[in-house]
Amino acid sequence: MKISIEWLKDYIEISNDVKKVAEELTMSGSEVEEIEKPFENVKNLFSARIVDVKPHPNADNLNVCKVYDGSIEYTVVTADKSVKVGELVIFGAANHACDFNGKSVQSMDIRGVKTDGMLFSLEELGLEAHSNKVFRFDKEIELGKDIVDLFGLDSTTLELEITPNRPDCLSHIGIAREISVIEGKKLKIPSPEVKFIPDNVNLSIESEGCFRYMGIRIDDVEVKESPLWMKKRLASIGLRSINNIADATNYVMMEFGHPIHAFDFDKIKSHKIIIRDAKLSENFTALNSKIYTFKGGEILIADVEKPLAIAGIIGGIESGINLSTKRILLEIATFDPVRIRNTSKGLNISTDASYRFERGVDPNDSVRVAKRLVDLIISIANGTVAGFSDLYPHHIEEKEVTLTNKKLFSYLSFEPENEDVEKIFNGLEMKCFSGSDGWKVKVPTFRQDISQDVDLIEEFARLKGYDSLPSKRSIPFVEGEGNKWWDFKSEIKRLVLSLGYFEAINYSFEDPKFYQFFGKTFKKGPELLNPISPEMSLMRSSLIYGLMNSLAYNVKHQEFDVKFFELGKVFGEDGEDEKIAFVSTGKLEPFDYTDKREVSLLNLKGDIEAIADFKHSNFEFVNETLDGFAIGRSGLIKINNKNCGIIGEIDEKVLDFLDLKVPVFAAEIDLKALFNSFEKVGYKPYSQYPITFRDLSMFVKKGKILSSEIIEVARASSKYVEDVKVLDLYTGKGVPSGSYSLTLRIIYGSMDRTLSDSEIDGAFNSLMNSLEAKEGITLRKVQK
């Protein structure tokens, strides 16, 4: 919201140090976001006299004029054919002058006539919404005078952020009141003497949503331009002048914060105002020329036939004021903020009026606002008060709020002087009474935000200044309960980082098109009702989607060796789970030039096993065809026979979708399952005697026997087997097709002695015999 410093001076003395005022407002809760010079763009415009006017030789609708600024004569072309010799105008020279928007004046060739500059209207000075003529001074003025000085345009405006609880600050008087408390200065509120005699305005309130409605009829008004001072003030806070009546309503709204509407009294059918709820499908054309269709229940200002305005939001195009209006009806009303807000949201219209009404407007200032408004209108548009009516069905009373000293002292952690407290409350126009154990405070109705003791504490704290409150570092000790889940996640992250994976954090949104590739592999995540875009319309059901995108981004930016993991939430129809997922491509060890290997599916599996081993957990991997993964290269990860993850090589179709030309491996594990699988760690006796090993190579035919079965056979082959390790895995030259060569190392040992060669040979021979008997195994060589 914009507040004019010059305007504020009507109500309170303002020091010349605007920065200090801004700082004080900011530090008391009305944050000044910017100190602006609204007319700073207007440059090098001077008063000048028309000394010659001729029709344009090549255009009937243009005149060519000579203007004189006291030293030089310039040529201009104007479309304002009413300009006469001798008139005083505003001239801006080409390449020097700038208008309100910062647009500089150019020298032009207008149909054969070269111009030296242009004549300005109030629109180009930002003082009028639309001008249809160039500006003329109405009295004699010195030539060559700067317009900024002549008009007093060197004004200052504050751009404020007013929080939604403070509608009372959405006005010049509201801000002046704040300053008056901060600086301890007196506030002057205009209160002209105007008498209203209830008569001649026919009102009927038929809506619960209307708290108060005051109608004032003024006859014989002269609708015309507003005086320059008013245009300037409105322009300085970003409003353009329309006509004197509309401007006066806006002006008083910006003064008191109470929105006002003016109707053309003669456009009201039967001269009767009915405040009622809208009917379903009722139509209405608003001032902005848009047609609105009501859902029913919106509060309307209507006559006996049709809606005239959407209450508290916007007026109608037909009942508005125009230059031929003679009699007006002024509305000073208060409506239910919730209903105004719902209508404003529902119809998607936000206006200065709706902004204030939905935050809460004080019905009890209506008389004061009415007097000020009528006095102002009569002074700039003539007219006489011809009618008045005031209905107030929903009375709002002052509240009394109690604040105990105990609470006040406990919140502040010190005991303020009674005088200090009283000064602040009184400054806010709150009558307060100090008792033995605290305060009773009468809260004026323009402060609907204050209803509890803590609200009063805030008023004291913010106006006393937070900087002046003590700062303590002594909150009492509380025994925490810890968070094992959080600690577990941190530990897993560190472990995975040490395996060379970078952490990625992706959006939780997913592209349904991408999801489709994974068909039955993942359940579909919930859809958003109002997504940013179709590509971000689904909640992710797997972390792999986002990781694939991150991987693709890097590969496309010449990062060919990518190992990513992400730990985060995935979503299903029945809730959300946390998972950890991995993707990898490129070199296994990009910074190790002694290691030329590329990442493989088994490397990814090995990394996952390393995590399991680290925490003494045991995962099982089972081949399974999965949508989105390459045939024969995917499977399930199981813990204690329960599915808890997937692993595989990403399918070509998915790679094509992402425009990737490299193999990518991916896996995902449920974190809860991982957490629960971890064995409790503790001491177990281990053998103190030397071990012996035997290595065994064999060809294994794929599809006939699983390597896990072979290892299981080896493990179970003798009570002396301590461990079985894979020494080598090889396919290629010398290995029959469809087979692979596997070398195992069988480690033998005993808890109580060193085993003899004959014991080990016996065990090893029996293992060889049992393996040889298995279909799909051909033993190759035996090594001692």
CB 126 within 8 A of CB 39: yes
One residue of 131, 165, 643, 731 binding other proteins per CB under 8 A: 165
Give the distance, in angstroms, between the CA of residue 47 and the centroid of all CA atoms in the same chain: 47
Rounded-to-integer distance, Cα 8 and Cα 175, Å: 8
One residue of 16, 594, 737, 758 binding other proteins per CB under 8 A: 594
Applying CB under 8 A, the span of 104-112, 477-485, 639-647, 702-710 interacting with other proteins comes to 477-485
Q: Structure tokens of 686?
A: 């281990």
Contact call for residue 508 and other proteins (CB under 8 A): yes
In degrees and rounded to multiples of 5, residue 217 shows phi and psi of -100, 130
CB of 409 to other proteins, least distance (A): 9
Contact call for residue 554 and other proteins (CB under 8 A): yes
Residues 518-547 that bind other proteins (CB under 8 A): 526-532, 536, 539
CB 547 within 8 A of CB 505: no
Residues 414-443 that bind other proteins (CB under 8 A): 414
Nearest to 176 by CA among 445, 546, 451, 428: 428
CB of 414 to other proteins, least distance (A): 8
* DSSP designation for 164: T
Rounded-to-integer distance, Cα 138 and Cα 130, Å: 19
Name the residue nearer to other proteins (CB basis): 27 or 110: 27
Q: Which amino acid is at 105?
A: V
Rounded-to-integer distance, Cα 499 and Cα 487, Å: 19
CB of 412 to other proteins, least distance (A): 6
Residues 13-32 that bind other proteins (CB under 8 A): 26-29, 31
CB 158 within 8 A of CB 2: yes
CB of 361 to other proteins, least distance (A): 13
Name the residue nearer to other proteins (CB basis): 372 or 563: 563
One residue of 576, 627, 695, 759 binding other proteins per CB under 8 A: 576
Name the residue nearer to other proteins (CB basis): 529 or 681: 529
Nearest to 109 by CA among 76, 148, 132: 76
Q: Which residue is it, tokens 């249809």? A: 132
CB 40 within 8 A of CB 100: no
Q: Helix count (H) and strand count (E) of the chain?
A: 20, 37
**# residues contacting other proteins (CB under 8 A):** 91
3-state secondary structure 570-598: EEECCEEEEEEEEEEECECCCCCCCCCCE
Bridge partners, residue 293, by sequence: 283
Applying CB under 8 A, the span of 141-149, 474-482, 656-664, 697-705 interacting with other proteins comes to 474-482
Long-range contacts of 434-437 (CB under 8 A, 24+ apart): 437/404, 437/405, 437/406
Rounded-to-integer distance, Cα 232 and Cα 330, Å: 23
Rounded-to-integer distance, Cα 361 and Cα 606, Å: 68
Answer positive or negative: Cα dihedral of 762, 766, 767, 768: positive
Name the residue nearer to other proteins (CB basis): 263 or 501: 501
CB of 289 to other proteins, least distance (A): 26
Contact call for residue 474 and other proteins (CB under 8 A): yes
CB of 294 to other proteins, least distance (A): 19
One residue of 591, 680, 685, 781 binding other proteins per CB under 8 A: 591
Nearest to 25 by CA among 166, 191, 124: 166
Applying CB under 8 A, the span of 52-60, 318-326, 584-592, 612-620 interacting with other proteins comes to 584-592
Q: Structure tokens of 209?
A: 């949503």
Contact call for residue 610 and other proteins (CB under 8 A): no
CB of 592 to other proteins, least distance (A): 4
Nearest to 107 by CA among 144, 146, 74: 74
CB of 40 to other proteins, least distance (A): 22
Contact call for residue 565 and other proteins (CB under 8 A): yes
Name the residue nearer to other proteins (CB basis): 247 or 298: 298
Contact call for residue 477 and other proteins (CB under 8 A): yes
Name the residue nearer to other proteins (CB basis): 420 or 761: 420
3-state secondary structure 103-130: CECCCCEECCEECCEEECCCCCCCCECC
One residue of 148, 412, 691, 747 binding other proteins per CB under 8 A: 412
Annotate each residue in 449-468 with x if it binds other proteins (CB under 8 A) or - if it does not, as one string.
Answer: ---x-xx-xx--xx---xx-
Residues 60-89 that bind other proteins (CB under 8 A): none
Annotate each residue in 338-357 with x if it binds other proteins (CB under 8 A) or - if it does not, as one string.
Answer: x--xx---------------
CA dihedral 493, 499, 505, 509 (to 10 degrees): -100
Nearest to 181 by CA among 368, 36, 32, 27: 27
Contact call for residue 137 and other proteins (CB under 8 A): no
H helix or E strand, kind and range, residue 431: strand 431-434
Name the residue nearer to other proteins (CB basis): 51 or 602: 602
Contact call for residue 448 and other proteins (CB under 8 A): no
Give SS3 for 754. Answer: coil
Residues 172-201 that bind other proteins (CB under 8 A): none
Q: Are strands 642-650 and 665-670 parallel, antiparallel or unpaired?
A: antiparallel
CB atoms within 10 A of CB 732: 7
CB of 490 to other proteins, least distance (A): 7
Name the residue nearer to other proteins (CB basis): 280 or 475: 475
Contact call for residue 297 and other proteins (CB under 8 A): no
Residues 484-503 that bind other proteins (CB under 8 A): 485-486, 490, 493, 496-503
Name the residue nearer to other proteins (CB basis): 157 or 354: 354
Name the residue nearer to other proteins (CB basis): 433 or 502: 502
Q: How far is CA 54 from CA 50, 81, 87, 132, in A?
A: 11, 10, 14, 20
| 236 class by beta-carbon count within 10 Å (0-12 exposed, 13-18 middle, 19+ buried) | buried
Give SS3 for 295. Answer: coil
Annotate each residue in 636-675 with x if it binds other proteins (CB under 8 A) or - if it does not, as one string.
Answer: ----------------------------------------
One residue of 197, 280, 291, 475 binding other proteins per CB under 8 A: 475
Name the residue nearer to other proteins (CB basis): 186 or 596: 596
Contact call for residue 150 and other proteins (CB under 8 A): no
Q: Structure tokens of 89?
A: 């105008």
Contact call for residue 371 and other proteins (CB under 8 A): no
CB of 606 to other proteins, least distance (A): 14
CB of 462 to other proteins, least distance (A): 4
Contact call for residue 564 and other proteins (CB under 8 A): yes
Query: What DSSP string runs through 510-575?
Result: E-HHHHHTTTTTSPPPPBPSS-SSGGG-EE-S-SHHHHHHHHHHHHHTT---EEEEEEEEEEETTE
Contact call for residue 233 and other proteins (CB under 8 A): no
Annotate each residue in 308-337 with x if it binds other proteins (CB under 8 A) or - if it does not, as one string.
Answer: -----------------------------x
Contact call for residue 509 and other proteins (CB under 8 A): yes
Rounded-to-integer distance, Cα 14 and Cα 18, Å: 8
Contact call for residue 606 and other proteins (CB under 8 A): no
CB of 98 to other proteins, least distance (A): 29
